[in-house]
Amino acid sequence: MPGRRLTGADRRQISGGLAQGLDYAEIARRLGRPTSTVMREVARNGGPGRYSAELAQLATIHRARRRPRPAAAQRISEDSGPDPHMTAAFMAEFTAALIETGLPRTAAGVLACLFASETGSCTAAELAQRLQVSAATISHAVGLLEKQALIRRGRDDRGRRHRYFIDDDAGVRSAVVGVRANQRLAATALRGADMFGADTDAGARLAMTGRLLEQIGNDIIRSAQRHWRAATGKELGDARAYQASAE
């Protein structure tokens, strides 16, 4: 009904309508909302070409937290971090950047929340509340991130609830995990080159692509090891171990 706030389901319907090439009036009609509501929603969340239901929902949650609060709580907030509107914009942009690396949307949102958390950790319930998704969706996302060794599981101070932590080397790990996909592609291309034969156009093309991707991957891993050593004075360790943890 008109006047009620847009829900996550409403935003998914808007996103779906945009993907189908529907105009604002038709999307609004299907939602039972004024066309102006849909226009404002899309405009404030990246426009028709970049609108994302999940990111729009996340940004709306953060905007809602800017409402007036008791003076004591407001003083704590003012000393504890950047402006909530700036935080919301950053979170949306950071999540989108993580998605572009190949992470699923919710997993990217989880990782963004952990990066931006003062303690570098959140419970599953906190993540579900911040991202406005179900506990099952969070469970799937953190399972993927744990498998790739981007986060680790622990206990809170009371020992009753699981908390998810992001390590200091998560950025390096994510870079190495990204290399894994390229190296898998490189290995497949080189197998294809052998199959077609180096004397064929297809074989030569596949061989060149495979060797290039393989070399780029090795360069990235060596660079990550060098910069990590310079920044921390520690060894990053065998890159193969990082890659195996992501298998």
Q: Is residue 63 part of a domain?
A: no
Residues 180 and 107 both lie in one domain:
no
Q: Is residue 207 part of a domain?
A: yes
Task: Output the pLDDT for position 62.
Answer: 65
Structure-model confidence comparison of residues 85 and 241, the more confident one: 85
Reported as a pLDDT band with limits 50, 70 and 90, residue 80 is very low
Task: Output the pLDDT for position 158.
Answer: 59
Residues 75 and 162 both lie in one domain:
yes
Residues 77 and 155 both lie in one domain:
yes
Query: Where among 166, 187, 219 does a domain terminate?
Result: 166
Asked whether residue 245 carries a pLDDT value surpassing 50, the answer given is no
Q: Is residue 56 part of a domain?
A: no
Encoded tokens for 242: 């990082």
Q: Name the amino acid, one letter, at 12.
A: R
Structure-model confidence comparison of residues 62 and 120, the more confident one: 120
Distance (Å, whole) CA 175 – CA 35 = 43
Phi/psi at 166 (5° precision): -110, 130
Q: Is residue 88 part of a domain?
A: yes
Query: Where among 134, 166, 198 does a domain terminate?
Result: 166
Residues 156 and 95 both lie in one domain:
yes
Reported as a pLDDT band with limits 50, 70 and 90, residue 61 is confident
Reported as a pLDDT band with limits 50, 70 and 90, residue 72 is very low
Asked whether residue 179 carries a pLDDT value surpassing 70, the answer given is yes
Task: Please count the other Cβ atoms lying within 10 Å of the Cβ belonging to residue 21.
Answer: 8
> What is the arithmetic mean of pLDDT over 45-64?
79
Asked whether residue 210 carries a pLDDT value surpassing 50, the answer given is yes
Query: Where among 147, 166, 185 does a domain terminate?
Result: 166
Task: Output the pLDDT for position 170.
Answer: 67
- In terms of Cα–Cα distance, which of 60, 193, 216, 185 is closest to 130? 60
Residues 112 and 30 both lie in one domain:
no
Q: Is residue 1 part of a domain?
A: no
Task: Output the pLDDT for position 71.
Answer: 41
Q: Is residue 62 part of a domain?
A: no
Q: What percent of the chain has pLDDT over 90?
A: 21
Structural domain including 40 reads: 8-51
Distance (Å, whole) CA 135 – CA 126 = 10
* 3-state secondary structure string across the chain: CCCCCCCHHHHHHHHHHHHCCCCHHHHHHHHCCCHHHHHHHHHCCCCCCCCCHHHHHHHHHHHHCCCCCCHHHHHHHHHHCCCHHHHHHHHHHHHHHHHHCCCCHHHHHHHHHHHHCCCCEEEHHHHHHHHCCCHHHHHHHHHHHHHCCCEEEEECCCCCCEEEEECCCHHHHHHHHHHHHHHHHHHHHHHHHHHHCCCCHHHHHHHHHHHHHHHHHHHHHHHHHHHHHHHHCCCCCCHHHHHHHCC
Q: What's the number of domains the chain is made of? A: 3
Question: Domain with 85 in it: what CATH number?
Answer: 1.10.10.10
Structure-model confidence comparison of residues 137 and 100, the more confident one: 137
> What is the arithmetic mean of pLDDT over 227-233?
70
Residues 81 and 156 both lie in one domain:
yes
Encoded tokens for 112: 């963004």
Reported as a pLDDT band with limits 50, 70 and 90, residue 65 is low
Residues 161 and 176 both lie in one domain:
no
Task: Output the pLDDT for position 239.
Answer: 43
Residue-wise pLDDT tens digits, 110-152? 988 988 887 888 999 999 998 989 999 999 999 988 887 788 8
